[in-house]
Structure formats: C-alpha cells, structure tokens
C-alpha cells in the first residue's frame, strides 16, 4: 500500500522547507524512524525520519527545491511494488530529483492552483518571513500578488511570478527599498574546476547577507581599546572559573559592556518594522554571537543577557558553541537576537566592516588582542590593545549615537570596575 508522506509543520511560522540533502533514493528500503531527508527552514536545519518502514516509491522534490508544509514530500510503498522514478531537472544528475512544473497541467495534484486575481484591498496577506523578505527585495507589494499556497498563502514562486508581471498586479515599492535585478550570471568553464551545488546553509547565508546590504544603509566606526586592566581581571578569575567548569574568555565581558551601552543608547537595540513604518525599541537584550560553524557562519543567541553573570554568560556561550559544532542547535537558540557581536577569535585581524544581522541595526566586530607599544603619560609602554568596529544602519542610527555607544563600551572595557558598577 502506498503511503503519502506530507511535509509536517516543523516549527511555529514555518510554511516551507528547502531540501538540503536526501539520505535515501527511489527504490531504497527504509525502516521506521530512519533519517530520510535534511530540510532547511527559515529557522533551522532539521533531519526528518521515516514515518514507517517500506520502500521509497516516489520523491517529489529534489535537492535545492522548496517543499511547502502539507505537500506530499515522498511516497513510501510499505508492501512492495514498482518504484516510481521522477525525471530529474537539468542534466539528469540523480534520478530522485523531481522536475519543476512547467504548466498547470503538470502540477502535482497536491499543489493548489488558484486564478491569478489580486485579493481585496486591505485583506490580510498570508506569507512566510522568507517570502516577505523576497518581496521586499524584488520591490513587489504582497497585497497585489495572487496566492497559490494552502489557505491562500503567498509563496516565493508567487512573488517571483509577480515580479515578472505574470498573472498578478505588481506594485513597485520606493526605489531605495527595491534591489535592482539582473539576469543570472553564467560562469563559463575555464579548465580544471569543481562545481558545488549552491544551496542549503551557504545559500541561506548569501541571501541574508545580500538582503542586509541591499536594505540597511551601512556605515562603520572603529575604536582602539586598551584591555590591559581587563586582561589582568580575567587572569585572576580564570582559576575560579575553572573550578566551576567554565572556560572564561573575553566575550562575556564584552557582552556585559555592550548591554550596558544598549541601555544608554536604545536606538541601537531596535529594528524598523517596514510594514507599519515603526521603529521598535526593544527593552530586552538577546545578544547574537556570530562565529564560524561546520556549515558556515552561524549566529547563536544568548537570551536575556542583561540578567546573566559573567560566569553564566561564559557557560552559555560555550554550550551554544558546542551545539553548533554538533549540529544540535535548536531554532530558539539561533533566532531572536536584538544585537550581534562577531569575532574570529585569535584570527580577529586588525579591522573589518561587519555586515548587519538584519533586521537588527548594529553589529560589533571584535578583532585581534595583542601587546603593542602605546604612549601613556608621555611614556612608551607595552599595553594589550584591540580594535572594535561597529557597523550600523544609518536609517535608524546617526553617526553621533553610534560613536558615543562605542565610546561607552570602550570606557567600560578599559575600566572593569566601572563595568561591574553598571551591572544589575
């Protein structure tokens, strides 16, 4: 008997998932709960197990394609039978890649097709966050897009069709909010090459970075910070931290200084709600930590940083880092940040211009800490110096505010006594 497996609801607000990799192919025999596919959503990457034992009879979506929640992802024949093999798109690499529909007649029965008629003015638009982001990038007004998704939901394909003028009214947003479009760039073969599919985490990182650069008006400010006193404080605290099973780095101290600065300069702990044209100042402090993970850049989130001690922050940072390395970080552990800190650790370099973790308005880059000669009271002395760079969204943050914020962070880091006085 053939069993149709519909993509389940795998998270609040998640309406579709990109197929990162299939663990099985048509004709494979699978057991109950055997991992069969890895899917990436707006929130996280998850591995989905087989809902029953049987033979994979049909796979409807190939790697790199997007499957809406509720659609038939694959068919399992639990009594045996002749497997169905989908024709792959392109050059035919992999028999399990399902072809993209070319016309309404070729659309699988599970996909709902509606007439290309815009909804009534003022009606609520149903769309995933990724779809809304794409609409803003393409300059498409969602209210004028005909929805083909379940329950009248606008899909990414609907937005792309609307952007080309196919089947729905298109309302172009103000030019400064719309990213110019261009034809896909083809790279000709030029010798010995390796071609890697552009999908999954790498593609999601690229989309997020491009969205940030094309929307936020970036500017960067840099300061040199003398951490000599903080180096001494950390050195004295390392043994106590070790006794508690904590690896104490400089990052917890930086987080504390950043939170204190954000409380004084609330415009930097904000976001712009483009749909309502409101600046949202957040009175909670969830600090994103951007670092390199096994699949690329990953941002984990220390929630409620304002309520945590230095040791507690160190413990949480280490826990989140291990979760990223193991691939077990949850959606909640990687979403909800209000301001981000990015660091390459010992490879921090002299200077960088970090890209804002949109829709936040600021990100601090932590650079290499090393001993250098410095002039103090007319004397050349050796000090522990480090650069901090901050990128800000000039739409919401003025240069003065950004510079004063970083000056306050610098003051707290250079004098740990004042930092501890700021703690609650």
What pLDDT is recorded for position 363?
Answer: 96
Mean pLDDT score of the chain, rounded to an integer? 80
Strands 287-293 and 339-343: parallel
Say what the pLDDT of residue 177 is.
41
Residues 42-62: what's their mean pLDDT? 86
Q: What is the DSSP string of 132-199?
A: HHHHHHHTB-GGGSPP-SGGGEEPHHHHHHHHTTSSS---B--GGGSPPP-PPPP----SS-------
394 is catalytic: yes
Whether 416 has a pLDDT exceeding 70, the answer reads yes
Listed residue (399, 389, 347, 340) closest to 365, CA to CA: 389
Let me know: does 16 contact 46? Beta carbons within 8 Å: no
Residue 405: pLDDT over 70: yes
Give the separation between CA 149 and CA 128, rounded to whole angstroms.
11
Categorize the per-residue pLDDT at 172 as very low, low, confident or very high, splitting at 50, 70 and 90: very low
Q: Say which of 6, 112, 218, 394 is annotated catalytic.
A: 394
pLDDT greater than 70 at residue 110: no
- The confidence band for 124, taking pLDDT boundaries of 50, 70 and 90, is low
State mean pLDDT over 113-117. 36
Q: Give the model confidence (pLDDT) of 359-396 as tens digits.
A: 999 999 999 999 999 999 999 999 999 999 999 999 99
Q: Is the pLDDT of residue 181 over 80?
A: no
Q: CA-CA distance, 59 to 68, in Å (whole number)?
A: 14
* DSSP strand pairing (270-273 vs 153-154): unpaired
Q: Which residue would you say has higher pLDDT here, 405 or 184? A: 405
Cβ neighbours of 23 (radius 10 Å) = 15
**Residue 218 scores a pLDDT above 80:** yes
CA 421 to chain centre: 34
**Mean pLDDT, residues 41-61 taken together:** 85
Q: Which residue has the higher pLDDT, 10 or 314?
A: 314
The pLDDT score that the predictor gives to residue 43 is 58
């Amino acid at each position: 008997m053939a069993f149709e497996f519909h993509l389940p609801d795998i998270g609040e607000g998640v309406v579709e998932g990109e197929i990162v990799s299939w663990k099985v192919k048509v004709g494979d025999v699978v057991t109950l709960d055997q991992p069969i596919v890895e899917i990436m959503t707006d929130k996280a990457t998850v591995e989905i197990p087989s809902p029953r034992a049987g033979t994979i009879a049909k796979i409807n979506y190939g790697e790199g394609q997007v499957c809406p929640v509720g659609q038939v992802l694959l068919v399992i024949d639990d009594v045996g039978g002749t497997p169905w093999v989908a024709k792959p798109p392109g050059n035919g690499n992999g028999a399990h890649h399902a072809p993209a529909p070319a016309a309404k007649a070729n659309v699988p029965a599970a996909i709902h097709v509606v007439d290309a008629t815009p909804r009534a003015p003022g009606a609520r638009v149903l769309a995933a966050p990724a779809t809304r982001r794409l609409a803003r990038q393409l300059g498409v007004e969602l209210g004028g897009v005909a929805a083909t998704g379940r329950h009248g939901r606008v899909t990414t394909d609907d937005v792309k069709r609307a952007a080309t003028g196919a089947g729905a009214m298109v309302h172009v947003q103000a030019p400064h909010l719309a990213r110019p479009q261009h034809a896909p760039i083809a790279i000709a073969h030029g010798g010995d090459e390796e071609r890697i599919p552009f999908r999954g985490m790498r593609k999601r990182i690229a989309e997020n970075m491009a969205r940030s650069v094309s929307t936020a008006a970036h500017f960067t400010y840099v300061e040199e910070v003398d951490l000599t006193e903080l180096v001494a404080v950390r050195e004295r605290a390392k043994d106590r931290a070790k006794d508690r099973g904590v690896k104490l780095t400089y990052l917890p101290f930086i987080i504390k200084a950043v939170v204190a600065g954000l409380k004084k300069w609330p415009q930097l702990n904000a976001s712009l709600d483009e749909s309502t044209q409101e600046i949202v100042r957040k009175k909670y402090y969830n600090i994103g930590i951007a670092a390199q993970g096994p699949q690329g850049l990953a941002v984990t989130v220390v929630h409620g940083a304002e309520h945590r001690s230095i040791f507690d922050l160190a413990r949480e940072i280490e826990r989140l880092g291990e979760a990223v390395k193991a691939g077990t970080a949850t959606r909640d552990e990687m979403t909800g940040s209000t301001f981000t800190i990015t660091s390459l650790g010992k490879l921090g370099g002299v200077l960088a211009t970090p890209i804002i973790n949109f829709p936040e308005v600021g990100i601090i880059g932590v650079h290499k800490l090393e001993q250098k000669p410095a002039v103090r009271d007319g004397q050349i002395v050796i000090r522990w110096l480090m650069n901090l760079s901050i990128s800000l969204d000039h739409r919401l943050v003025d240069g003065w505010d950004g510079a004063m914020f970083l000056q306050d962070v610098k003051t707290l880091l250079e004098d740990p006594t004042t930092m501890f006085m700021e703690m609650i």
